[in-house]
Amino acid sequence: MLFGIRRSVILALALGMAGCEANLAPLGPEEGPTRVVMEVGSSAIYTELGAFLAAAPGVVVEDFEGTRVDPESAAACPGPLDSTTDNACFAPGAIVEGIWIDPPTVTNLAVLRGGFLEGLAGTAVGPDFFGAQAEIGFGASTVNAVGFTLVAPVGGPGNVLVEAWGTEGDLLQSFDAPVGELTGLFHGIISGESISRLTFTPPSGLGLLFDEIWFGTASLEEEPGAAGIVVQVEQGAINPRSQGVIPVSLLTTDDFDATRVDPATVRFGPGEAAPHRAAGKVSDVNGDGRPDMVLHFSTVQAGFACGDTEASMAGRTLDGIFFEGTAHVRVLCLPDRGGPGSAGGGRR
């Protein structure tokens, strides 16, 4: 079913999904993919548009405002969309040259104009089926900076798995991108290698739309890193078999404001564990009158082993600045689970 249904009906109907009631349940806290957000080679992840644009000046933006769809209306047209598209949704040249948008697992892309749904300001484009994968690709081999604003009017907020692919078909980076509702959330990636395409895989029941897409070329060679990083593990000894969490503090110094850390980008330990909770706790840990950031990490996911004495932490601030620091740790050496009498028992 295409668009043309009364605006008072929720987007589930507007997207042509009236027969898919089973997909309408909200995204649960444990659903969706979980992939590491971490520096891979020279790739960098951004969560603020201003920081991304500062690092990638001159990128081109596609905002879909050149559509043929009437204001406050919606339509569905076959994909892919590119600068040569000529259909009821876009005329030739309406999509900027050098980018294509495709729903590889379904036929149509939905186009929603601002005002079609209350709270939707701009034009948004995405697969017209809940949970369907989306793809954006680039004609030039020099594209290494891509930003995008994602909205999920149905099934959101939630997480979408984003994978960046190189020109040789190799996976450059994968990460979870939180998706907002009608206001949208920005994410960006700048890679040390050229990006040929990005794939977006939402969980079942989430309607994925792009509000804006930026792409172009940027350099990471002179990207500054944050200075004065102090990391403290607030635990005397780590039992690597524990099912609990490890509290870790990032301290505010003269050179570094720990409250500006973006917890979603932080990874800790040999296993590059993500924070146990989405938000960190702001607290004056060392009593110097300045607020610090406390994060908790799953002991199992942190991946410590007997003999480890140092743990690394890396991430980005809300301004997109990369930081990295290390902390001293003491990891217990435990007998094998079979006991002292079993083969290989005793301390390592």
For residue 34, the one-letter residue type is: T
Q: In this structure, are 205 and 242 located in the same domain?
A: no
Q: What is the b/e burial string over 23-35, where b = at least 16 CB atoms within 10 angstroms of the residue's CB?
A: beeebeeebbeee
Q: What is the DSSP string of 312-328?
A: EEEEEBTT--EEEEEEE
Structure tokens at 159: 């997480």
Q: In this structure, are 195 and 250 located in the same domain?
A: no
Q: In this structure, are 41 and 182 located in the same domain?
A: yes
Instruction: For the chain, give the longest Cα–Cα distance.
Output: 77
Q: In this structure, are 136 and 58 located in the same domain?
A: yes
pLDDT at 211 over 90: yes
Q: In this structure, are 35 and 61 located in the same domain?
A: yes
Token pair 């369907």 is found at: 132
Residue 147 belongs to a domain: yes
Q: What is the CATH number of the domain that holds 293?
A: 2.60.40
Flag the least confident range among 13-22, 81-90, 289-298.
Answer: 13-22
* pLDDT digit string, tens, across residues 17-63: 433 333 333 323 333 322 223 343 457 888 888 888 888 888 999 99
Q: In this structure, are 209 and 270 located in the same domain?
A: no
Q: Pick the residue with more confidence: 144 or 40?
A: 144
Q: In this structure, are 203 and 133 located in the same domain?
A: yes
Residue 57 belongs to a domain: yes
How many Cβ atoms from other residues are within 10 Å of residue 95's Cβ?
Answer: 23
Residue 23 belongs to a domain: yes
Q: In this structure, are 102 and 210 located in the same domain?
A: yes
pLDDT band per the 50, 70, 90 thresholds, residue 196: very high
Please report, to the nearest 10 degrees, the dihedral formed by the alpha carbons of residues 247, 253, 255, 259 taken in order. Answer: 50
State residue 225's pLDDT score.
59
Residue 251 belongs to a domain: yes
Q: In this structure, are 85 and 171 located in the same domain?
A: yes
Select from 191, 216, 241 the last residue of a domain.
216
Q: Pick the residue with more confidence: 68 or 339?
A: 68
Residue 244 belongs to a domain: yes
Q: In this structure, are 123 and 33 located in the same domain?
A: yes
Predicted TM-score of the model (pTM): 0.60
Q: In this structure, are 104 and 39 located in the same domain?
A: yes
State residue 22's pLDDT score.
32
Number of domains in the chain: 2
Residue 6 belongs to a domain: no
State residue 8's pLDDT score.
33
Q: What is the CATH number of the domain that holds 204?
A: 2.60.120
* pLDDT digit string, tens, across residues 69-79: 999 999 999 99
What residues contact residue 333 under an 8 Å CB cut-off, 6+ apart? 306, 307, 347, 348
Structure tokens at 91: 């005329």
Residue 97 belongs to a domain: yes
Instruction: Share the mean pLDDT of the chain.
Output: 81
State residue 64's pLDDT score.
96
Residue 27 belongs to a domain: yes
* pLDDT digit string, tens, across residues 86-134: 999 999 999 999 999 999 999 999 999 988 888 788 999 999 988 899 9
What residues contact residue 15 under an 8 Å CB cut-off, 6+ apart? 3, 110, 128, 129, 130, 154, 207
Q: In this structure, are 188 and 46 located in the same domain?
A: yes
State residue 14's pLDDT score.
44
**Average pLDDT of span 279-300:** 92
Range of the domain at 114: 11-216
